A and B are shown apart, each in its own frame.
Chain A
């Protein structure tokens, strides 16, 4: 079955710096890769997603890249702000057969003012 690894588990940056979170997946059939942000006391919320027919996607200060050959995808946050502080989860989903959305273990990002 699918296995999603996420690194690092914690990251601390200064406001204005960039942050990068990396994930690898094991199932080459995976074709959907969402990123969720979980703020303290709240449920996860989708911030960006990418499908396997696209290599990169941007939305303002966040971008996601996908390398299907290497089976890894990354979240890039530029010009970080204190409100970016949260736990970020990557996930991967397959289609056909036993569909499942498998989450990484999460990364706690702290943006210091």
Chain B
């Protein structure tokens, strides 16, 4: 079974802090994704990566950056957390970029106070 793990289930940070969300997948997938999930808005793509050290912006990249130094690990970085970044963050991976199943992690609920 594909397993996507996220470093924290719950995280509370203060405004202005630098926040790292880590995601690891164990299926040697080329592609990894970061989504944000908010009530009434569904899932929105923040960034994705189709190879090590490669990244592409999604629909809502502002205020976020990513890092993919190793194939199995994809990090989401909030350079200076703000209250409007309070959300559920979901990481996913897939064998191909699109048109195939994406495997999701359990999510990290981030609260910025």
Which residues of chain A have a CB within 8 Å of any CB of chain B? Answer: 6, 9, 31-32, 34, 36, 41-46, 49, 51, 89, 93-95, 99-101, 103-106
Is B85 part of the binding interface, using a Cβ–Cβ cutoff of 8 Å?
Answer: no
Q: Would A101 and B40 count as touching, CB distance under 8 A?
A: no
B61-95 residues with Cβ-Cβ distance < 8 A to A are 90, 92
Q: Is the CB of A32 within 8 A of B99?
A: yes
Give how many A-B residue pairs fall within 8 Å (CB-CB).
53
Does A94 lie within 8 Å of B98, measured CB to CB?
yes
- For the complex with contacts A94-B98, A101-B98, A106-B42, 12 further pairs of A-B residues with Cβ separation under 8 Å are A43-B90, A44-B43, A51-B99, A89-B42, A99-B98, A100-B59, A100-B98, A101-B45, A101-B102, A105-B41, A105-B42, A106-B43
B-side interface residues toward A, CB under 8 Å? 4, 40-45, 58-59, 90, 92, 97-102, 104-107
Question: What residues of A have a CB within 8 angstroms of the CB of B98 in the complex?
Answer: 32, 93-95, 99-101
